[in-house]
Amino acid sequence: MGEVQAVTAFGWMEKLIAWAIVLQTIELLQIRASFAPDGIWRWKVVRREFDGLPKPLRAGLDWLLDYRGFVALLVARLFFALAVFFITHPLQWGFLLFSTILISVRWRGTFNGGSDYMTLIVLMAITVGRIWPDHPRVMLGCLWYVALQICLSFFVAGTVKLKKSEWREGKALEGFLTSSYYGVPQPLGRLSRQPRLMTLTAWGIMAFECAFPLALVDPRICAGMIALAAAFQLGNVYAFGLNRFFWAWSAAYPALYWCSQLSRN
Amino acid sequence: MSSLLPLIACFALALALLAWPGLRERALPGRSWMLLRALFPSWRFFEELGHVPKVSFRILSADSGAGPWQDAMGQATRSWSMLALNSQGNLRMAENSLIEQLMTDLADLPDENTDDLERSVSYELAIQLVRSHIRALGAAVPGTRFQFRVIASVPGRNENVGEEALISSEHAV
């Protein structure tokens, strides 16, 4: 892979997160019955959690987050995300950031946990970078912020696993696989009953996650780590249905690769 | 290499903080902060095996009394398209998060007072969740009532074996 300029990396980050947001929004529209007035997350119940807010703010949330307002918000989000492939503007990114925060509020924290975190991180970086496009250092800072966060996401995940004996002994991996909502994947069923293989795999995962920050040392190492990370997350899609993680993390990889080039320079 | 020294120091600091015995994951005070937790990533993925909350329900009728406990949520289905779109799978994860929030709310109550729990947002949403699954399973008979229960099951073992964390009051189907 040749040298990637900061502007190019930033552009790829924008397009990839826009794609992730398109998919996320289509999914939410597909399950809109769940937040309809007669659905599970009906607004007239969820809104009680905001009773402590000032009246104007509650009125604003009522307008944006009841069924009609929320569907309209999602449709607008889909439109602005698709528009990224043709035109990009700070207000557009500000709206995508704001709508992502509102979605998290609507779902009482996050809808999908980690993928919502990464989506917000990338959106915050892009929005800041687009507000000050004539300041190259701002863009560099945004790229570094995303790169550090993606390194932390793997490093912290690996380090906390190392502290747990059930992970060191391989029992945690078997337990997570057997508790998946989809049941144990058939090809992995037999493998999950082999304790030594589970232990080896668990150590492989922990080693990969803890070593992930080495991606910043060299672009070739970075490319290898990105390939491993993508394969790992595809495995998570298959085992646990965590598709959103794959797309949200993909949006952060251009920033990581660009930062890894600095060691060569 | 010298330009990487600050980075190495940063990750060494992160490692030291994670290893520090006195630094425990603290719950943010109050529900309001939880609503903004997407802004404060913890990156602790699949950290602990723990117990998995399993939800079941039983139908109560005047004629036949209490029926058997039935699994409320069942197993999700894999498909090739779920890499791109997995709305039902992600909805299922959100439902599970709702039950986990319910268990957290229960644990936070003094003396685990279920009367206070039944006034909570999490409990009301959980009723809707179970009701929607009862209707989807075709088990909703007019005039009957239901109860749901949450078992903290151990991964890899029988889903119905575990500590009974909550049995609800009776509610209309």
Candidates B47, B54, B82, B105: best to mutate against A (most CBs of A within 10 A) is B47
Question: Minimal Cα–Cα distance from B169 to chain A, Å?
Answer: 18
The answer to whether A46 faces chain B, any CB pair under 8 Å, is: yes
**Touching check for A39 and chain B: CB below 8 Å?**
yes
Task: List, in order, residues 6 or more apart from B154 with CB less than 8 Å away.
Answer: B51, B52, B161, B162
Residue B163, pLDDT > 50, answer: yes
CA distance B1 to B115: 61
Q: Does B2 lie at the interface with A, CB-CB under 8 angstroms?
A: no
Q: Which of residues 95-114 of A touch B (CB under 8 A)?
A: 100-101, 104-105, 107-114
Closest CA to A209 of A185, A179, A233: A233
Pairing of strands B171-172, B145-153: antiparallel
pLDDT tens, position by position, B111-159: 756 678 899 999 999 999 999 999 998 888 888 899 999 998 876 655 5
Are B14 and A156 spatial neighbours (Cβ–Cβ below 8 Å)? yes
Min Cα–Cα distance to chain A from B162, Å: 14
Residues of A whose CB is below 8 A from B39: 101, 120
**Best mutation site among B5, B7, B75, B102 for testing chain A: the one with the most A CBs within 10 Å?**
B7
Distance from CA of B64 to the nearest CA of A (A): 29
Where is average pLDDT lowest: A248-262, B21-35, B110-124?
Answer: B21-35
Nearest chain B CA: its distance from A87 CA (Å): 24
- The candidate with the shortest Cα–Cα distance to A258, out of A225, A224, A216, A226, is A216
The yes-or-no verdict on residue B108 having pLDDT over 50 is yes
Structure tokens at A213: 């920050």
* B residues 91..130 contacting A (CB < 8 A): 91-98, 101, 121, 124-125, 128-129
Q: Is the Cβ of B81 closer than 8 Å to some Cβ of chain A?
A: no
Q: What is the pLDDT of residues A57-113, one digit of tens each?
A: 999 999 999 999 999 999 999 999 999 999 999 999 999 999 999 999 999 988 888
Residues B52 and B65 sit within 8 Å (Cβ to Cβ): no
Q: Which residue has the tokens 């004996």?
A: A165
Q: Cβ distance A49 to A62 under 8 Å? A: no
Query: Residue A2: its pLDDT value, please?
Result: 59
pLDDT of residue B33: 54
Cβ contacts of B155 on chain A, cutoff 8 Å = 175-176, 178-179
Phi, psi of A122 (to 5 degrees): -65, -40
Residue B65 backbone class (left: φ over 0; alpha: ψ -120 to 50; beta: rest): left
**A264, amino acid identity:** R
The pLDDT of residue B7 is 60
Is the Cβ of A86 closer than 8 Å to some Cβ of chain B? Answer: no
A155 contact B CB<8A: yes
Strands B70-71 and B162-167: unpaired
Residue A97 · residue A120 · CB < 8 Å? yes
pLDDT of the residue at A118: 95
Q: Helix (H, G, I), strand (E, B), or coil: what is residue B59?
A: strand
Burial code (b: 16+ CB inside 10 Å, e: under 16) for A184-208 equals: bbeebeeebeeeeebbebbbebbeb
User: Cα(B146)–Cα(B61) distance, rounded to whole angstroms?
Assistant: 8
State the ipTM, two decimals. 0.92
Distinct helix (H) and strand (E) counts, chain A: 13, 0
pLDDT at B150: 94
CA distance A252 to A150: 7
> Hey, are the CB atoms on B75 and A181 less than 8 Å from each other?
yes
User: CB A26: neighbour CB atoms within 10 A?
Assistant: 15
Q: Which two tokens stand for residue A102?
A: 């509102």
The contacts of residue A263 (CB under 8 Å, 6+ apart) are A216, A217, A218, B1, B3, B4
Q: Are strands B65-66 and B70-71 parallel, antiparallel or unpaired?
A: unpaired
DSSP string, A33-59: GGGSTTSTT-HHHHGGGGTTS-HHHHH
pTM of the entire structure?
0.90
Give A-chain residues touching B102 at CB under 8 angstroms.
Answer: none
pLDDT of residue A265: 56
pLDDT digits (tens, 9 = 90+) for A187-231: 777 777 788 888 999 999 999 999 999 999 999 999 999 999 999
What is the reported pLDDT for B29? 44
Q: For residue B139, what pLDDT is reported?
A: 84
- Distances in Å between the Cα of A230 and the Cα atoms of A21, A147, A237, A240, A250 are 18, 15, 10, 15, 8
- Residue A214 neighbours by CB under 8 Å, 6+ apart: A221, A225
Asked if the Cβ–Cβ distance from B38 to A237 is below 8 Å, we say no
The structure tokens listed for A25 are 């929004």
Compute chain A's Rg from CA coordinates.
Answer: 20
Distance between CA atoms of B61 and B144, rounded to whole angstroms?
5
Give residues 4 to 33 of B whose Cβ lies within 8 Å of A: 4, 7, 10-11, 14-15, 18-19, 31-32
Please check the confidence at residue A18 and state whether its pLDDT lies above 80.
yes
- Compute the count of residue pairs across chains A and B with CB atoms less than 8 Å apart: 181
